[in-house]
Amino acid sequence: MNKSLLKFLTDFGPLVIFFIVYYQNDNNLRLAIPPFIIATLISLAVVYLLEKQIPLVPLASGILISVFGGLTLYFKNPIFFYMKPTIINLLFAGTLLFGQFILKKSLLKIFFKNSLKLQDLGWSKLNNRWIFFFIFVAILNEIVWRTQTEVFWVNFKVWGLLTITFLFTASLIPLLNKYKLEDN
C-alpha cells in the first residue's frame, strides 16, 4: 500500500468509521464512540509501526478522543465528547502561547523546521495566527454544541471545522511566501 494512502487512512479512517456507525444507528453517539476510539488507537499503532514514532498532534487527539469518549460512555453524558474539540484547540493555543511567552520561541518553528523555512518574523506571525485560530474554533465549537442539535454538531465538527481549517490554512500561503527564506 502506498504511504500517502496509508497516511490518509490513518488520519481519516477513524472519522469515517464514526460517521458510518453514527448514521447507521439512528444518530446514536454512544454506539459510535467505541468503534471511533478503537479505530483511533489502531491508526496510532499503525503510524507507530511504520514510523517508529507518533506525531504530537495525532497522539494528543487520540488520547483526548479516548478519555472524553470514555467519559461520555461512563457517565452517559455527551457533554464530554462535545467539549473535546474545545479542549484540544485550547491546549494547542496554550502550548503555542507557552512557547512564545515563556520559552521565547515559536514552537511551530521547532515542529516544522524541516518542512518550512521562514524568517523569524514569519514564524512569529504564523504562531500568532494559529493561536488566534485555535481560540476562535474553540469558541465556535462551544457556541455550536450549546445552541444546536447533536446531529448538527456532529456534521459541523467534521465538515464545518474541516472546511474552516482548510480555508484558514490556505489563507496562510501569502504569509508563508512573504517570509520564506531563499535557498542559497
Give the contacts of 62 (CB within 8 A, at least 6 positions apart): 40, 41, 43, 44, 54
Query: Do 126 and 182 have their domain in common?
Result: yes
Among 43, 60, 76, give the residue marking a domain's end: 76
Does the reported pTM lie above 0.75? yes
Q: What is the pLDDT of residues 91-118, one digit of tens each?
A: 999 999 999 999 998 999 988 887 889 9
Q: Is the domain of 72 the same as that of 83? A: no
In sequence order, what are the residues at sequence separation of 6 or more whose Cβ sits closer than 8 angstroms to the Cβ of residue 9? Answer: 43
State which residues form the domain around 137.
78-184
One domain for residues 156 and 96: yes
- Shared-domain flag, residues 66 and 95: no
* pLDDT tens profile 22-37: 999 999 999 999 999 9
pLDDT in tens, 61-75: 899 999 999 999 999
DSSP annotation of 180 reads B
Looking at the structure, tell me whether residues 64 and 110 fall in a common domain: no
For residues 68 and 82, state if they share a domain: no
